[in-house]
Each structure stands twice: as structure tokens, then as C-alpha cells.
Amino acid sequence: LCATYALNKPYGCLSQFVTNASRKKKSHKLLSDLPRVASLGHSSQLMAVGRLDLHTEGLLLLTTSGSFSRAVTYGFGPGRERVSKEYWCQVD
């Protein structure tokens, strides 16, 4: 049974669930620190599909399926047809 979720990753949150403790600053949150992610029930099996920089916010897919994550990140099928991605950035 696989599950996929859409998350609006907040500013200042690392796009990962675990990190080397010596690299994590106390001000940085991990995805597993977010209450809405912890409430999903199987957060130990979730992985982020791709990543967003620490100082950005936006759509981040979370899934329990490694094959879905690889397909979205690297492409589908034998020819590895790429998934088109579009990014929009606003700089203050």
C-alpha cells in the first residue's frame, strides 16, 4: 500500500526527515518536525520527492513509494522520458 501527499513546505524547513546532527542548526526544522507530517501516521516510511532549498517554500511531494519517487525524479519507462518541471521564483 503506497501513499502520496502534497505538502506546502514552509520557509526554514529542510527537505529531509533525518540529518547529521552536527550539520543541523537548532533553528532548522526537519519534515518530521512538522505536526501535519507527523499526523500522517506512517511518517517513518515517507520520503520527499526531490527537494527545495532551506530558504524557499512551496509544493513538495511526500510518498511511501520508492518507485514513484524515482519515476517523478528521473523519468518513466524504458526510455526514461523526463517529467517536465517548472519553477517560479520571486526574489525580494
Catalytic residues: 53
Q: Are 60 and 7 in contact (CB under 8 A)?
A: yes
8 Å CB contact between 10 and 24: no
Q: Which residues does residue 59 pair with via DSSP β-bridges, in sequence order?
A: 8
Closest CA to 34 of 52, 7, 61: 7
75/51 Cα distance (integer angstroms): 16
